[in-house]
Amino acid sequence: DAGVTQSPTHLIKTRGQQVTLRCSPKSGHDTVSWYQQALGQGPQFIFQYYEEEERQRGNFPDRFSGHQFPNYSSELNVNALLLGDSALYLCASSIRRLPLAGEQFFGPGTRLTVL
């Protein structure tokens, strides 16, 4: 079982550019959540995808958007990058179908640096 995978590992962009980050969930998982972790802080929930729809969203602007594909993988897109978008972006997968499903598994993250 490969677990949760993310690509790319590192990314450097300049202000105003757009970026796409990718996530493949753990085998058998159907729900993908994205988190932003700024340096020295705890992860902040961005949004969650289930059945190819955004189900929940945190306090992030519309510049942050996403998508989930039929194979449950997901993309996070950020437009008009700001310096403050520099962070570690974490993808987590879980199983929505089961009651009290519990644990989320996190991927290795994508380190985004905006210059």
Question: In the complex, which residues of this chain contact other proteins (CB under 8 A)?
Answer: 31, 33, 35, 41-45, 48, 55-56, 58, 90, 92, 94, 96, 100-109
Of 78 and 107, which CB lies nearer to other proteins in the complex structure? Answer: 107
Q: In the bound complex, what is the minimum distance in angstroms from residue 32's beta carbon to other proteins?
A: 10
- What is the C-alpha to C-alpha distance for residues 85 and 19, in angstroms, rounded to an integer? 11
DSSP tag of 85 = G
Q: In the bound complex, what is the minimum distance in angstroms from residue 12's beta carbon to other proteins?
A: 16
User: Cis omega (within 30 of 0) on the bond before 8?
Assistant: yes
User: Closest Cα partner for 95 from 72, 77, 114, 111?
Assistant: 72
- What is the C-alpha to C-alpha distance for residues 6 and 108, in angstroms, rounded to an integer? 7
Of 19 and 92, which CB lies nearer to other proteins in the complex structure? Answer: 92
Q: In the bound complex, what is the minimum distance in angstroms from residue 69's beta carbon to other proteins?
A: 19
